[in-house]
Structure 1
C-alpha cells in the first residue's frame, strides 16, 4: 500500500518503546542480557527524520511502555509479562524514571505517551493528543515489530489515521518474525525505509 504526499504539519513521528530500559546496556533488558545490536541501532536510523519533520511543523511523540509503581505495594506487572520477563524488578519502566525515557539519541520528544500494554492507543491519551494537534498521519518506528508496533499500527488504522511504517526503523528479536509482521501489516499501512521517507519532496524542498 502506498499513498501520495504528506502534509508535514499534520504528521507525527511515533516511536514505540525506544527507551533506556529496552535499549540501553544499563536498562532493564540490557542488565538481563536481552538486548541486541540490531535493536540498539534503530534510534540512529530514525533520528535524522526528527529535524526534517520538525522544520516543517511536524512533531515527535515518544510512546513508552510503563509499569505502574504504587507506594507500599508490588509494582503492577501483568502475570503474562512477569512470566515472559521474570528479570523485571522494582523500578524498571517506572513512570518518569531514566529507564522509561526515550534514548538520548532521540531526546527530547515533543510529547510523551505512557502505555500499559502493547498499543499506544489502549487506555492512553494518544488519540486525544493527536486529534487536538490536528495530526492525521503517523510515521511509526520502534520495538517490537510484532508487538507494540503492530498493535499500534492496527489501532491507528481502525481510527482512520494514515500510517507510514518505517521498515528499517522497527525491529523484533527475530528477523523472520519482523519480516512476517511487515507482510501482515501491508494491508493497513504504507511502508518505507527511513532513507526513503527522509527523501520525500515534502521534506527536502
Structure 2
C-alpha cells in the first residue's frame, strides 16, 4: 500500500494514452506501422487490475492524448510532434472520435480526460477530476514510459498524490528506453508490478 493505508475506493488506475489511435491496427499509429509488441500487450496485461479496482469500488480514469481541431478541422500539432510523427493527419486523435477513445479492453472507464501535452496534468481537468472523486493514490500505466507516463508521474508527485508506477503496465518504443525511464522514476515514486498490485488489492 505504498506505506500508507489509503483505501481502494480512494485509489485510481490512471491509464495514460491507451487509445485506439495508438494501439489498434486501424488507428493512426497502426496504419503508419508505428508500434511495438510491448505496447500492444499492455491493455490485456493491465485489464485484470482495472477489473479488480472496479469490483472493489476503486476508479479507472484514462487520460487521452488529443489533437484539437482548428480551422477547417485541421489538427493543432506542435512542431516537435509534427517532425516526430509526420503521418498524423486530420481526424487523428480528434475529441469524440473512435481513435481518440480508450481501447475496448479497458472499458468501461469511469472518466476520460483530454490531454494536449506529455503530462496529463498540463492545462487539463485531471487534478480537478481526481479531487472530486476523492482519489489519493494513483496506479499509473500506459504509454510511453519516457514521455506521457514519466511526465504525468512527476506531476502527480508534485501534487502529493501517492503514486505507484506499474513497471510492466507501461512500455516505450524500445525496451532500453523503458528501463532507463523506470530507473529514473524510482526516486520519485514506488515501482511495482501488476501482479504485486493485484495481490495487494485482493479481497480480504
What TM-score comes out, normalization by structure 2 length? 0.96
Q: Per-residue displacement from partner, 1:31-83 (whole Å, max 9, x unpaired)?
A: 00001221110010100012211222111001100000134253201111000
Unmatched 5+ stretches in structure 2? none
Unmatched 5+ stretches in structure 1? none
- Name the counterpart of 1:203: 202
Q: Is the Cα–Cα contact under 8 Å of residues 66 and 114 in structure 1 kept in the other structure? A: yes
1:93 shift after superposition: 0.4
Alignment of 1:16-165 (within 5 A): 16-72=16-72, 74-165=74-165
CA distance in 2, matches of 1:82, 1:157: 29
* Pairs aligned (count): 203
CA distance in 2, matches of 1:29, 1:82: 13
Check 1:73–1:30 CA distance in 2 against 1; reply closer, same or farther (3 A cut).
closer
Aligned-partner SS, 2:72: coil
What TM-score comes out, normalization by structure 1 length? 0.96
Q: Is the Cα–Cα contact under 8 Å of residues 25 and 35 in structure 1 kept in the other structure? A: no
- Name the counterpart of 2:166: 166
CA distance in 1, matches of 2:54, 2:202: 10
CA distance in 2, matches of 1:39, 1:128: 29
Q: Per-residue displacement from partner, 1:68-119 (whole Å, max 9, x unpaired)?
A: 0134253201111000000001100000110011111111210000000001
